[in-house]
Copies of this chain bind each other. A is one copy, B any other.
């Protein structure tokens, strides 16, 4: 027992002995470790530049400024939503790619928002003050939310259009930071390659390596109708990085669960992952078949299918990690070491109960999970119209309240993102809406049960598919003017509306709010209040040498270009453009687009195409630049290998790898395949 605990404590205490693990906040980089490891110590200017040149795509991705004129490099799969929204049956930019001949031809993305981090400040004391003596239930939740909204509102001031402020919980409540961002909502598409090369190998090659993907897109941030002028941007290094060379990933990893307790991990495994896996698999089968019915049905559903398949694999990988007895045992050992540490020290002793309180909250979660997801997460209502209707119904209620009392997504600070989506011109396809809604209503019935009064109220005596068709045929929410009218008309207009989706959102609302309240008061608040305690134990044991779990905020991870060993065989770190032609069969997803086949003679087949590094990243890092020590872009992160999926719970340097597009391949393709000389020049600064 002692040896085990010590061993684990050793791991926790000396991050320098750990490999390249860590998604570090920019104000707490492991500088000593970096210096020892790479002979490189980032100075304040380097860090500031990295912060200002990195961007977040509010939809869930990362990117970076790559020219003084606001050009942003990200992944194709991060921009595909916009690309599809700009497409139609006649002009399919997903299939055929897009290149704006001039800046005037750049097309505005209906609902893309870009955030650039400007400042981080510590608000831990203020947040702790606000919740002091509130216990760990409803009162805690209420005060915590109110204080967050207050801090954010003060930060935003009257500049909500251009400023976004988020209070971020680090270490699951061990610290609270205020992140202030510059917000850009006028974002236009400049370049996207064909889906066939952006996602060459498709789902069969997903999370595998070698890969041959040009998973890139270029968008540009505008303000007042002009390209944004930026001071900080990353120049591109065509040479890229050599094997063994250090690489730094700057970006916005979404979430990791490395600091969860064992009880939380078991709940994630037994409840969330199993439920997600079955749901995603069923959606996958549904969308696979729907897409086979016609070219148009394939077109309108393909990005959903891609998203579903991607998430399915993530969840599958996470589940495999959590059913691996060695992983969960490792977590048990870590937890035992922390407990022992706390138990033996006077000021920490009182925190030991935190584990039990968190465990008790998991039991509540297990009880309410299905209802919470069906009603509040709206999994029972898979439909763009339902999302719109809920924003309208809740928006009317919430905007009538003081800012600090609103649901968090309706605070003044949050409204610009919400209204961008609410009034988006993105097309909605009625047939597809019916299919999605009809199916998800069958899931609602399955998960809540036929005899649930709300289910009976929604379905009445009709089949779910009949209800879906009636609603989609009857709605006027396709009309942006109608949405605007309802938004501006507020509670009265919404109450009067006879739109069937508004009626549905109204019917669901009370119960959805009730289960959300239970979740927030009886699960989340308990977890947060106790996570603060656990963070104190952790800090006492490990000092500042720990990084917080990912929170979709800016992080830096370090690593080197390096292959790995798969089932006894070495995997080389690089692929080449020539390799893509060797893998081409002509049948999707292994069919290179015509543009590439036509350019074969011109292309440098030895040009490195994709490569892998030991950087510790996760979902949300898509679109992140890989930088060298001179802060030049050497690659564009777009994936992890299959072993990276266990990274949600722990980082295994032996096999966990980041997969990136080589900087040289980006320039090579822009020049030789797409004739995008102007953009290539802008990118390469030449």
Binding site for B on A (CB under 8 A): 201, 203-205, 208, 266, 269-270, 274, 277-290, 292-293, 312, 316, 319-320, 323-325, 435, 439, 442, 445-446, 449-450, 459-463, 465-466, 585-588, 590
A463 close to B278 (CB less than 8 A): no
Complex: how many Å from CA A47 to CA B459? 50
A203 close to B286 (CB less than 8 A): no
| Least CB distance, A434 to chain B, in whole angstroms | 10
B435 close to A289 (CB less than 8 A): yes
Chain B residues within an 8 Å CB radius of A204: 442, 445-446, 449-450
Interface of A is mostly: helix
In the complex, the count of this chain's copies comes to 2
- The chain B residue with its CB closest to the CB of A589 is B463
| Least CB distance, A280 to chain B, in whole angstroms | 8
| Least CB distance, A416 to chain B, in whole angstroms | 36
- The chain B residue with its CB closest to the CB of A587 is B463
B285 close to A461 (CB less than 8 A): no
Complex: how many Å from CA A588 to CA B558? 57
Complex: how many Å from CA A320 to CA B269? 11
A208 close to B449 (CB less than 8 A): yes
B289 close to A446 (CB less than 8 A): no
| Least CB distance, A644 to chain B, in whole angstroms | 18
Chain B residues within an 8 Å CB radius of A316: 278
- The chain B residue with its CB closest to the CB of A287 is B285
A446 close to B274 (CB less than 8 A): no
A587 close to B462 (CB less than 8 A): yes
Given A279-B281, A289-B289, list of 14 further CB < 8 A pairs?
A203-B446, A204-B442, A270-B323, A274-B277, A274-B320, A274-B323, A278-B278, A278-B312, A281-B281, A282-B282, A282-B284, A450-B590, A461-B587, A462-B585
Which 7 pairs of residues, A with B, have the shortest CB-CB distance? A285-B285, A281-B281, A285-B286, A461-B585, A282-B285, A289-B289, A463-B587
| Least CB distance, A523 to chain B, in whole angstroms | 19
- The chain B residue with its CB closest to the CB of A460 is B585
Complex: how many Å from CA A463 to CA B292? 13
Chain B residues within an 8 Å CB radius of A450: 201, 204-205, 208, 590
Evaluate whether A277 and B281 lie within 8 angstroms (CB atoms) in the complex, with A201-B450, A446-B204, A463-B588 already known. yes
Offer 25 A-B interface pairs, CB within 8 angstroms, sorted by A. A201-B450, A204-B449, A205-B450, A208-B450, A270-B324, A277-B278, A277-B281, A278-B316, A280-B281, A281-B281, A281-B285, A282-B282, A282-B285, A285-B285, A285-B286, A285-B288, A285-B289, A286-B288, A288-B442, A289-B289, A289-B290, A450-B590, A459-B587, A461-B586, A462-B587
Chain B residues within an 8 Å CB radius of A208: 449-450
| Least CB distance, A632 to chain B, in whole angstroms | 34
Complex: how many Å from CA A312 to CA B443? 14
Among A286, A287, A446, A449, the one with the most B-chain Cβ atoms within 10 Å of its Cβ is A286
Complex: how many Å from CA A463 to CA B587? 5
- The chain B residue with its CB closest to the CB of A202 is B450
Chain B residues within an 8 Å CB radius of A435: 289, 292
Chain B residues within an 8 Å CB radius of A459: 587
Complex: how many Å from CA A309 to CA B323? 25
Chain B residues within an 8 Å CB radius of A284: 282, 285
| Least CB distance, A45 to chain B, in whole angstroms | 46
Chain B residues within an 8 Å CB radius of A462: 585, 587
| Least CB distance, A178 to chain B, in whole angstroms | 40
| Least CB distance, A461 to chain B, in whole angstroms | 4
| Least CB distance, A276 to chain B, in whole angstroms | 11
Complex: how many Å from CA A289 to CA B285? 8
Complex: how many Å from CA A319 to CA B284? 21
Complex: how many Å from CA A645 to CA B194? 48
Complex: how many Å from CA A293 to CA B288? 14
Complex: how many Å from CA A315 to CA B320? 17
Complex: how many Å from CA A269 to CA B320? 11
- The chain B residue with its CB closest to the CB of A312 is B278
| Least CB distance, A317 to chain B, in whole angstroms | 12
Complex: how many Å from CA A290 to CA B281? 16
Chain B residues within an 8 Å CB radius of A201: 450
- The chain B residue with its CB closest to the CB of A205 is B450
Chain B residues within an 8 Å CB radius of A269: 323
Complex: how many Å from CA A278 to CA B320? 13
- The chain B residue with its CB closest to the CB of A467 is B587
| Least CB distance, A455 to chain B, in whole angstroms | 9
**The one of B278, B287, B325, B466 that contacts A587, using a Cβ cutoff of 8 Å:** B466
Complex: how many Å from CA A517 to CA B445? 45
Chain B residues within an 8 Å CB radius of A319: 274
- The chain B residue with its CB closest to the CB of A325 is B266
- The chain B residue with its CB closest to the CB of A284 is B282
Complex: how many Å from CA A280 to CA B279? 11
- The chain B residue with its CB closest to the CB of A278 is B281
Complex: how many Å from CA A28 to CA B145? 66
Complex: how many Å from CA A407 to CA B132? 73
| Least CB distance, A261 to chain B, in whole angstroms | 14
Complex: how many Å from CA A312 to CA B281? 12
- The chain B residue with its CB closest to the CB of A271 is B323
| Least CB distance, A192 to chain B, in whole angstroms | 24
Complex: how many Å from CA A459 to CA B201? 14
Chain B residues within an 8 Å CB radius of A293: 293
- The chain B residue with its CB closest to the CB of A567 is B367
Complex: how many Å from CA A459 to CA B590? 12
Chain B residues within an 8 Å CB radius of A449: 204, 208
| Least CB distance, A4 to chain B, in whole angstroms | 20
| Least CB distance, A272 to chain B, in whole angstroms | 12
Evaluate whether A292 and B465 lie within 8 angstroms (CB atoms) in the complex, with A281-B282, A285-B283, A446-B203 already known. yes
| Least CB distance, A452 to chain B, in whole angstroms | 11
- The chain B residue with its CB closest to the CB of A288 is B286
| Least CB distance, A513 to chain B, in whole angstroms | 23
